[in-house]
Amino acid sequence: MNIIMMGAQGTGKGTVAGIISEQTGWPQISTGDIFRKNIEEGTKLGIEANNYISKGELVPDTITVPMVANRLNEGDTEEGFILDGFPRTIEQAKKLDEILEQKNKKIDMVINLTTPREETIERILTRRVCSNQECKATYNLVMHPPKVEGICDKCGAPLVQRKDDSSREAINKRLEIYDSQTSPLVEYYSNKGIVRTEEVSTRINRLGLDVATDIIKGIKGE
């Protein structure tokens, strides 16, 4: 099964995708992780991507789309995959359709996560991620803190705050971009009849783990 995770930053896309990946064996493909790795290593792609990311802007398709296409050619995607952070625009969605059509594949499910805006901002400000790129575990200092402050439970590596997570102004700009450019994707995929929308929030006491568990049960027909 081929899945797309949708939702604004801070809604828990990475967490839900990670749980589904662990339970199914389908790789979680995050363009954000790939960008950050290249930025840290100072590659040409990383430098180009950082010019946009540091301003809270989307990385151009000329950088993103070929990278995703190459990733989908790898063997671990044969049985299924979970795209986390792509596509972000209607144009990217159409290009993804073309890429998959050439492989006689399609997107089977779009999981659309929603969270009240102020809660989303607070989640991002208190988010910490594992500095080990092989681990990529995500924590929240309030809702899901590590057992030892500043240390990843899974691998013991230091936890860090992403540069683009530390400024309320930058976060608001990213959310505005999401509203204007990415939200229309919900309608695009709704017209295909494959969208499943779930609220992840303390308001209804429903967090990412609960959502992921229900989705996995649905996939397995339980």
Q: At what angle do helices 61-71 and 44-53 cross, to 10 degrees?
A: 120
At residue 222, the pLDDT reads: 63
Averaged pLDDT score across all residues of the chain: 88
Confirm if 108 and 3 have CB atoms less than 8 A apart. yes
The predicted model scores a pTM of 0.76
Alpha carbon separation from 119 to 79, 86, 142, 145 (Å, rounded)? 35, 23, 12, 16
Q: Using H for helix, E for strand and C for coil, what is the string for 46-74?
A: HHHHHHHHCCCCCCCHHHHHHHHHHHCCC
Rounded Cα distance between 64 and 98, Å, is: 15
Residue 148 phi, psi dihedral angles, 5° rounding: -115, 125
Is the CB of residue 127 less than 8 Å from the CB of residue 139?
yes
The tokens for 99 are 């890429």
Answer for the pair 127, 165: CB distance below 8 angstroms, yes or no: yes
Write b or e for each residue in 77-95: b if 16 or more Cβ atoms lie within 10 A of its Cβ, otherwise e.
beebbbbbbbbbbeebbeb
> Which residue type, as a one-letter code, is found at position 58?
L
In the chain, domain spans = 2-115+182-220
For residue 199, the model assigns a pLDDT of 87
Reported as a single tens digit per residue, the pLDDT across 97-133 is 999 999 999 999 999 998 888 888 998 999 999 999 7
Catalytic residues: 13, 88, 127, 162, 174
- In CATH, 2-115+182-220 is 3.40.190.10: no
Cα 119 to Cα 170: distance, rounded to the nearest angstrom: 16
Task: Return the higher-pLDDT residue of 6 and 207.
Answer: 6
